[in-house]
Amino acid sequence: MATPVRMPALGQTSDQLRLIAWLKAEGDTLHEGEPLFEAESDKAVHEVEASSDGTLLRLLGEIDEMIAVGTVIAWLGEPGEPIPDVAPAYVKAGAVSSPAASSPAVPSAVPASAAAAVAAAAPVPALAAPTADPAAGPVPATPVARRMAREHGVDLKTVIGSGPNGRIESRDVLAAAGETSSEAPAEPAGAEPAPGPAGSRDEPVPAHRQIIAQRLARSTAVPYFSVSRTIDARVAMARVAEAQGSTLTHVILQAMSAALDDFPRVNRVWLEHGPSFRQFTQANVGLAIASDDRLVIATISEAHRRPLEELALTVRETVQQGREGRLSGAASVPAPISLSNLGMYGVDHFEAIVDPDQTAIVAVGRIVERPAAIDGEVVVVPQLGLTLTVDHRTVDGAEAGSYLAAVCDHLEH
């Protein structure tokens, strides 16, 4: 029986993603774990792998379309095997719709199961085919170039790449946008903003920043609170000195991951559907990554179960992916909590905003030497402040304080 390939949820509550490229063509033989397609969330481009072996029988999803999570976008099976007639559910103008059949509008913020049901219930006379020729393969381009092409309305198939093996770089998109800007459609009519003061100019907000703003606005509607604690950082610094290539970030990731094992109510997220809790069985921690005007959170899986030097190598590779706007499957798995470290910028203390798909975030500043009373004597020791911000719907004050105490205990001992 043919196996459906569905658009995955690359975040706990993501409801739609953009299909960027097919990495295989119809008729190709796939093995479990092979890259199959690329999809873009508001955070990064994700390479999605095949979940089973088989021949790629049919591609349904159209390149550059927003597709509801859970929607069938391809079929795997044996050559010649019959497949059901299913049209993908595209998300446009706040509704889920099929390009090949008329169906009632469904709000875009539907859970995966509902999105899948909408897709499966839409009978069509003919299967929808991708816009691009799958046999030709995806247009080689960097994630930044793809994003800029969408923002500038540039068709990548018309751009000549200047990168290795003809890969399209951001400069190629900018050049193409400059050549075609005179042909760009006029802005819709509307009230013009009042002119700014002298020495200023108004600039349009890029699409990815608009999405970030919408997500952060969602966060402000959630009841959050924060708890803080300052620790003696000598033990943590000694661990960093002993493990080659490690930093304080790696030690804190291990402490946060280890503490999740003891606090399952922190290791879960609130879902509006129901409402319900989604409980996780792995102790995964997200890491906030500074990336070219983007907010990227990559997941580090089971950090406390890895040797520190191995963890440091994994984090370096993941940070590089995040800065390039491309996250692997391992870096895209769900995590209920993240770490945001601004210590390298000289920040002493701050409170971070919790990602809408998560429950909590730990904010860390720099290590500062301060006097402390130890064994009845005043001595100068390196101290580190940690602030935990949590979703009060999921975690209460006592639980938050206990979790933060456990993290600090791991760091101090």
Per-residue confidence at 192, pLDDT binned at 50, 70, 90?
A: low
Together in a domain, 167 and 258: no
Q: What is the CATH number of the domain that holds 85?
A: 2.40.50.100
Residue 378 clears pLDDT 80, i.e. is over it: yes
pLDDT at res. 313: 96
CA angle 178, 156, 131 (to 5 degrees): 140
pLDDT at res. 198: 84
> Is 393 inside a domain boundary?
yes
Which structural domain range is residue 358 located in? 224-412
Together in a domain, 149 and 126: no
Burial of 84: CB neighbours in 10 Å, binned 0-12, 13-18, 19+: exposed
CA angle 366, 288, 384 (to 5 degrees): 20
- For 17, the token pair is 């993603």
Lowest mean pLDDT among 84-88, 128-132, 185-189: 128-132
**Average confidence score pLDDT of the chain:** 80
Residue 131 clears pLDDT 60, i.e. is over it: no
Please give the share of the chain, as a percent, with pLDDT higher than 70: 79
CA angle 291, 33, 300 (to 5 degrees): 40
Q: What is the CATH number of the domain that holds 175?
A: 4.10.320.10
Please give the share of the chain, as a percent, with pLDDT higher than 90: 40
pLDDT at res. 3: 87
Average pLDDT on 362-390 reads 95
pLDDT at res. 108: 33
Q: What is the CATH number of the domain that holds 232?
A: 3.30.559.10
> Is 91 inside a domain boundary?
yes
Together in a domain, 373 and 249: yes
Quick one: which of 338, 394, 298, 284 has its CA closest to 10?
Answer: 298
Residue 312 clears pLDDT 80, i.e. is over it: yes
Together in a domain, 325 and 380: yes
Together in a domain, 67 and 155: no
Average pLDDT on 353-382 reads 94
> Is 165 inside a domain boundary?
yes
Per-residue confidence at 318, pLDDT binned at 50, 70, 90?
A: very high
Together in a domain, 19 and 118: yes
pLDDT at res. 405: 98
Together in a domain, 72 and 153: no
> Is 195 inside a domain boundary?
no
pLDDT at res. 407: 98
Characterise 324 by phi-psi region: left (phi > 0), alpha (psi -120 to 50), beta (else): alpha
Rounded Cα distance, 164 and 178, in Å: 22
pLDDT at res. 253: 98
Q: Which residue has the higher pLDDT, 317 or 150?
A: 317
Together in a domain, 406 and 258: yes
> Is 213 inside a domain boundary?
no
CA angle 48, 54, 58 (to 5 degrees): 75
Together in a domain, 295 and 356: yes
Number of independent structural domains in the chain: 3
Q: What is the pLDDT of residues 244-281, one digit of tens each?
A: 999 999 999 999 999 999 999 999 999 988 899 999 99
Together in a domain, 132 and 149: no
Together in a domain, 261 and 376: yes
Burial of 281: CB neighbours in 10 Å, binned 0-12, 13-18, 19+: exposed
Residue 109 clears pLDDT 60, i.e. is over it: no
Residue 194 clears pLDDT 90, i.e. is over it: no
Together in a domain, 25 and 150: no
